């Protein structure tokens, strides 16, 4: 209960921070994008990871204002980095909760934020999981609107949900993010067929493929060999505060 009342005030108290984890193009090692990951800088409890407050934010509905704060902050950061570093092809990805995705005003609010921050939609990316798409027809409609706007969409945590492959083919999305659990299994030849098959299938469907949670060179070499497009993980970088991220850009 204490956490709930505190979470209520966390936005106005400016206690949320975003970390940025680089996303690397695997064939040239360039940073092409970043995933924004929220943290709660609590005055007494220290840095609280999202797993410990996002569920509560979803239950209480606070996820909506928090989610729009994340999108706005990312757009402002994009604008700053574009001014300082150019970065014309750079994108930042934001994780979107089901409750926000289904918010009737979602598209309107996103458009408004883009207008107010003067960011081109092609620099913004939304990460949605299969579980976010509860109602497939409604989801297809929202994804269609995002595509029309020019916002990129990634299917996050791919492989952990139950999406039917026949639907996958028709989703208006850009990227498939292979869940970390499959990348963890890339150690021995026998365990690598799933990852290889996800890459091949996704690329046949004209999606780009991102591998999440790359932690060692064995995984990286395997993914390169299989022509996985992009990767992120501790082997490259942890999620970084703004100033540390900027050191990677110069
Ligand atoms: O950063 P970390 O690996 O601890 O993230 C844990 C989980 O929290 C991930 O599933 C991630 O998608 C989610 N998460 C991180 N930042 C955000 C955010 O800004 N909004 C939402 N809805 N989820 C987030
Ligand atoms: O669910 P989602 O894919 O959005 O979650 C991303 C989460 O994975 C973040 O909490 C991020 O901190 C974490 N993460 C990113 N790279 C690695 C990694 O190499 N190893 C581990 N264990 N976690 C990672
Ligand atoms: Mn994600
Ligand atoms: Na994931």
Residue 57 has pLDDT above 80, yes or no: yes
CA of 128 to the centre of ligand 3 (A): 8
Ligand 1 atom at minimal distance to the Cα of residue 100? 22
The whole-angstrom separation of Cα 33 and Cα 230 is: 9
What pLDDT does residue 166 have? 81
Ligand 2 nearest-atom number relative to CA 127: 4
In the predicted structure, residue 170 carries a pLDDT above the cut 70:
yes
Q: What is the pLDDT of residues 106-132, one digit of tens each?
A: 999 999 999 999 999 999 999 999 989
Of ligand 2's listed atoms, the one at least distance from the Cα of 212 is: 16
Q: How confident is the model at residue 188 (pLDDT cuts 50, 70, 90)?
A: low
Nearest Cα residue to atom 19 of ligand 1: 38
Statement: residue 70 has pLDDT above 80 = yes
Domain map (residue ranges) of the chain: 2-243
- Residue 77 in this model has a pLDDT that exceeds 90: yes
Beta strand spans in the chain (E): 16-25, 30-42, 46-48, 91-95, 124-129, 152-158, 175-178, 208-211, 230-231
- Looking at the CA of 62, name the nearest ligand: 1
Reported as a single tens digit per residue, the pLDDT across 189-203 is 666 899 999 999 999
13: three-class secondary structure by DSSP: coil
Residue 2 pLDDT = 66
pTM confidence score: 0.96
Cα of 190 from ligand 1 centre, angstroms: 31
Cα(95) to centroid(ligand 4), Å: 10
The mean per-residue pLDDT over the stretch 72-76 comes to 98
Q: Is the dihedral of CA 32, 183, 195, 161 positive or negative?
A: negative
Q: Is it the case that residue 1 has pLDDT exceeding 60?
A: no
CA–CA distance, 84 with 239 (Å, rounded to integer)? 21
Where is 33: in which H helix or E strand? strand 30-42
Taking the CA of residue 49 as reference, the ligand 2 atom at the shortest distance is: 10
The protein residue whose alpha carbon is closest to atom 20 in ligand 1 is 95
Find out whether 131 and 165 touch, Cβ atoms under 8 Å. no
CA of residue 127 to ligand 2 center, whole Å: 13
Mean pLDDT, residues 82-91: 94
Q: Select from 3.20.20.450, 3.90.1300.10, 1.10.150.120, 3.40.50.150 the CATH code of 2-243.
A: 3.20.20.450
Name the percent of the chain in helix, strand, coil, to the closest 5: 50, 20, 30
Cβ atoms of residues 92 and 125 within 8 Å: yes
Residue 164 has pLDDT above 80, yes or no: no
Closest residue by CA, ligand 1 atom 10 = 51
Q: Are 235 and 203 in contact (CB under 8 A)?
A: no
Pocket-testing residue among 17, 212, 234, 236, ligand 2, by greatest number of atoms within 8 A of Cβ: 212
């Amino acid at each position: 209960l204490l956490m709930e009342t505190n979470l209520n005030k966390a936005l106005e108290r400016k206690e949320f921070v975003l970390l940025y984890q680089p996303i690397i193009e695997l064939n040239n090692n360039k940073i092409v994008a970043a995933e924004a990951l929220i943290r709660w800088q609590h005055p007494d409890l220290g840095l609280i990871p999202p797993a410990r407050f996002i569920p509560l934010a979803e239950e209480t509905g606070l996820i909506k204002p928090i989610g729009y704060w994340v999108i706005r902050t990312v757009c402002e950061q994009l604008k700053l980095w574009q001014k300082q570093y150019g970065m014309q092809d750079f994108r930042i990805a934001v994780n979107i909760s089901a409750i926000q995705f289904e918010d009737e005003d979602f598209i309107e609010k996103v458009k408004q934020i883009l207008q107010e921050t003067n960011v081109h939609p092609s620099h913004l990316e939304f990460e949605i999981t299969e579980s976010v798409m509860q109602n497939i027809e409604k989801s297809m409609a929202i994804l269609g609107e995002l595509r029309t706007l020019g916002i990129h969409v990634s299917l996050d945590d791919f492989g952990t949900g139950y999406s039917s492959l026949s639907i996958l083919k028709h989703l208006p999305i850009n990227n498939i993010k292979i869940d970390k659990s499959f990348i963890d299994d890339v150690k021995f030849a026998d365990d690598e067929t799933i990852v290889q098959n996800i890459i091949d299938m996704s690329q046949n469907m004209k999606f780009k493929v991102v591998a999440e949670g790359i932690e060692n060179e064995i995984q990286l070499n395997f993914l390169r060999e299989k022509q996985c497009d992009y990767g992120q993980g501790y082997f490259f970088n942890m999620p970084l505060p703004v100033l540390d991220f900027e050191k990677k850009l110069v």
